[in-house]
Amino acid sequence: MPTRVFLLSPARCDGKRAQVLIRDAAAFPLAQRVRTEPGAPLGEVFSFLSGLYFRGKLAYAQHFGLKSWVITTNRGLISPDTMVNVEHLREFGCTDIHESDAAYRDPLLRDAKAIAASLSKNAQVVLLGSVATGKYVDILLEVFGDRLRFPAEFAGRGDMSRGGLMLRCVDRGEELTYVPIAGAARHGRRPPKLEPVKVKSR
């Protein structure tokens, strides 16, 4: 059984990049793929919608994790390899992510319980996403309790900084520090800016 799994917060499906992707006139390859069967992998689509942040989460989870799931607005937790189409994206964009919204909460609880049952008691469940509010944490803590962790280095960082940090960790082969969410300080001072990535000379 896996000893550590990752849960990735979703990309926005109602923002400007989503509108670019799902508009009828869009002709670039990814837009065409989400309009035809079988669609495109969720991880690839969310990487386009979110850019650096989700791309960093996905690369990090794939590099260091044995298994990862993506939080969605209305389908609970699904694999980043799940194929999605334009109708799925429109549905994702119509549901609010709020801990009190049953359309979001119930599928997430259902899948979190199923995942918890498949893990060893000592397995860590690492949330790669915001812990500043209860939209993810309040629901996931109900199921995973002390097993739910988050990277301590996320505190005080914005989305872009987190994405850049995770990509650097992948390049260096160094994992972040995972701490229990229960009882942890979820806010912190903004850390120094990341150093620019040095371009290797050929």
Query: What SS3 string covers 99-113?
Result: CCCHHHHHHHHHHHH
Residue 186 lies in a domain: no
Is the residue at 142 inside a domain?
yes
- Asked whether residue 28 is assigned to any structural domain, the reply reads no
Single-letter code of the amino acid located at 179: V
pTM: 0.89
The upper half-sphere exposure of residue 33, i.e. CA atoms within 13 Å in the direction of its Cβ, equals 12
**Could you give the residue ranges of the DSSP H alpha helices within 120-180?**
134-144, 159-172
Task: Find the domain containing 172 and state its range.
Answer: 4-12+51-82+98-180
Domain assignment present for 45 = no
Residue 42 covered by a domain: no
Report if residue 193 sits inside a domain.
Answer: no
Q: What is the pLDDT along the chain (202 residues), one digit of tens a residue?
A: 568 999 999 999 988 999 999 998 899 999 999 999 999 999 999 999 998 999 999 999 999 988 999 999 999 999 999 999 999 999 999 888 999 999 999 999 999 999 999 999 889 999 999 998 899 999 999 999 999 999 999 988 899 999 999 999 999 999 999 999 987 655 555 555 555 544 344 4
Please give the pLDDT value at position 195: 58
Both tokens assigned to 62: 């794939």
pLDDT of residue 148: 97
Report yes or no on 140 lying in a domain: yes
How many structural domains compose the chain?
1
- Beta-bridged to residue 180, according to DSSP, are 149
Q: Is 93 a domain residue?
A: no
pLDDT (0 to 100) of residue 197: 47
Bridge-partner residues for 77, per DSSP? 71
